[in-house]
Amino acid sequence: MNMSALWPGGSRLKVGYVGVAFTSYYGIELNQYGRAIDGLTILAERLDFDLVAIREPVTDLDLAENAAREIEAQGVDFLMIQLATVASGELALPLVAAAPRVGLWGTPDPHQEGEIKLHSLVSVNHYASILTRYLRDDAPPYKWFFGHVEDPEFVERFAVTARALRAIKRMSTASIGWIGGNSPGFYNMNFEETKVRSRFGTRVVAHEFAELAELTEAADPVEARTVVAALTSAATEVLAGADGMERGAKLYLALKEMATSNGHSALAVQCWPKFQEVLGVAPCMAYSWMGSEDDFAVSCEGDVPGALTMLLLNELSDLPGSSTLLDMTALDPERGAMLMWHCGVSPRHFANDDGITWIDHPTLGRKSPETFGVAGDQVFAPQETTISYIGDNASEMLVVRARIEEHPAKGFDGTRGWFGGFELNGSPIDLAELVNTLVVRGHEHHYAVAQGDLSNELLEVAAWLNMRTVEPIAPAPYVQLPGVNC
C-alpha cells in the first residue's frame, strides 16, 4: 500500500495558462493558444496536475485583469504566461500578481527570415526585466521557457518544474510524526518547528515513546506472523532468531498504525536507547520494511530534518520505494569513493543481486550474549543516486548526484554502498573537496539518499523556496573557517 494516499489534504498542483499578444501579430493564425492548451492538457495527465486555462487571447489591459481575477479565484500555484507574440508590458502587471510563481514562455517564429510573425523571445526578455528591474521585491519568482509545447527540450524543462512544485504542494499539507525526540547527543539535529513549517508548510507532531511501545505490545500476534512470513520470503537468508523477527514485525505494525491513524506522511523515531530500554529491540528491520513495502519514509535517531528530506525525495521520485538515511562512513581516495552506511535500515530495493539478509543487529549487543532485534544486511546495487539534506532549520539544501559503484570491499555489515562520480549542485566535485566541504561547513552528519538523479528537481525546489545551497570549499593545508577564510 502506498501510504501517500492517506495524507491529509491531498491537494493537487494547479497550473494556470494565459496567452498574451499584440493583435497585429499572428498568434491566432498560427494556433498559438490551442496548440499550447492541447499540449499542456497532455502534460497535466502525464505529470499529475490540474490545468486552469484562459482560452481566449489576452490582448489588452481589461482582458488581462479579467484573466488575473480568474487565475487568482482558481487558486493557481504556477502561472504559465505564454508570450504568444510580442505583447505589451502593461499586461504583465495584473497577471504576475495573480499567482505565487510564474513561467515566462516564448515560442519561436515559424521562419527565420522575411516577415516576422511572433517576435516572442523579445517579450520573454521584456517581462523578465519588468519583474527583476521594475517590480523587484514585489515580483513573484519566475522561470523562463522557450520552445513549442511538444518540443523535447521544453517538456524536459517543464517537467522539472511540475515535479518540483507538485512536491512543494504536497509537502505543504504533510505532517511528520516525531516519536521520542532525538537520540542523546544529537544536538546538530535540533530544529525549530516554526521555521520548518514557514518554509515547507510541513507540520511536526511530537509523540511520546510510550505511545509506540503500547501499540507494539498490543500488536496482533497472528498478523505479526503474517508479516514475518513476508519478511522471510523477501530475504535471501534469515540469520536472526524467530523471537527477534516477530518482535520486529510487531513494531512494524505499530509504526504503520501510528502513521495511518495520525495521517503522518513520514516518521522520525528515536531508535536508541529507548527501544532497547523499553522494548529490548532495535527497530531497523521495521524501518526497512516500511520503506520497501509501503513507500514510507522513517528516519532513525529522531532526525526530523532527515525525515523531511526523505519525504521530499519520495515526492520527487517516480520510482517505487522510499529513500533511505545513511552516514558518511569510510573513504577510498584511490578510487574517489565514499562508503555510506547505516546499521540496517535501508529498504531492500537498494540491494544488489545478493538481496537482503535479516541479521541480529550488527552493533547493539555484540559484546554480550544478548541480541537486540533484527537489521538488514545488504550491499547496494550499482545505480545513479541523489544525496540530499534539508539543513540549518530548513534554510539550506544539500544537492549531490552520485553513482553507487562496484567495489572490492563489501563494506561494513548493515546496509551500505560505495559512492563515487560526485556532482555538487550539478557540477563535478572530487571526493576530497566534497568531504572537506561537508566537514568544514559542519553539515549535519546524516544524508538522505534516493534512487535516480533528482538533482535538477531539488535545485528547483531550493530556488522556489529561497533556500541556499551548499557551496564547495576546496581543501587546503591551513585551518578553514566558514565566513573567515573560505
Q: What is the CATH number of the domain that holds 120?
A: 3.40.50.10940
**Inter-residue contact 190 to 311 (CB < 8 Å):** no
Radius of gyration of the CA atoms of the chain, in A: 25
pLDDT for 372 equals 83
Number of Cβ atoms within 10 Å of the Cβ of 190? 12
Does the residue 281 lie in any domain? yes
Does the residue 486 lie in any domain? no
- Are residues 166 and 214 both part of a single domain? no
- Are residues 142 and 221 both part of a single domain? no
Distance CA 276, CA 285 (A): 14
How confident is the prediction along the chain (486 residues), in pLDDT tens digits per residue?
Answer: 333 333 333 479 999 999 999 999 999 999 999 999 999 999 999 999 999 999 999 999 999 999 999 999 999 999 999 999 999 999 999 999 999 999 999 999 999 999 999 999 999 999 999 999 999 999 999 999 999 999 999 999 999 999 999 999 999 999 999 999 999 999 999 999 999 999 999 999 999 999 999 999 999 999 999 999 999 999 999 999 999 999 999 999 999 999 999 999 999 999 989 899 999 899 999 999 999 999 999 999 999 999 999 999 999 999 999 999 999 999 999 999 999 999 999 999 999 999 999 999 999 888 888 888 899 999 999 999 999 999 999 999 999 999 999 999 999 999 999 999 999 999 999 999 999 999 999 999 999 999 999 999 999 999 999 999 999 999 999 999 988 998
- Are residues 204 and 287 both part of a single domain? yes
H/E/C letters for each residue in 446-486?
CEEEEECCCHHHHHHHHHHCCCEECCCCCCCCCCCCCCCCC
Domain end call among 129, 152, 171 = 171
Structural domain boundaries, residue 340: 175-469
Q: What is the CATH number of the domain that holds 233?
A: 3.40.275.10
Does the residue 74 lie in any domain? yes
- Are residues 135 and 260 both part of a single domain? no
- Are residues 122 and 8 both part of a single domain? yes
- Are residues 183 and 158 both part of a single domain? no
- Are residues 165 and 275 both part of a single domain? no
**Inter-residue contact 259 to 3 (CB < 8 Å):** yes
**Inter-residue contact 164 to 464 (CB < 8 Å):** yes
- Are residues 385 and 279 both part of a single domain? yes
Q: What is the largest CA-CA distance in the chain?
A: 86
The single residue listed with the C-alpha cell 521557457 is 145
Does the residue 293 lie in any domain? yes
For 401, the grid coordinates are: 548526484
- Are residues 342 and 410 both part of a single domain? yes
- For the chain, the domain total comes to 2
Distance CA 469, CA 441 (A): 12
Does the residue 14 lie in any domain? yes
Residue 132, classed as helix, strand or coil, is helix
pLDDT for 321 equals 96
Does the residue 246 lie in any domain? yes
Domain end call among 143, 171, 199 = 171
pTM of the model: 0.96
Cα torsion at 461, 462, 466, 471 (round to 10°)?
-170
The single residue listed with the C-alpha cell 515535479 is 163
As separate numbers, helices (DSSP H) first and strands (DSSP E) second, the chain gives: 14, 20
Does the residue 480 lie in any domain? no
- Are residues 156 and 225 both part of a single domain? no
- Are residues 133 and 240 both part of a single domain? no
In the chain, the amino acid numbered 164 is: A
- Are residues 150 and 206 both part of a single domain? no
Does the residue 336 lie in any domain? yes
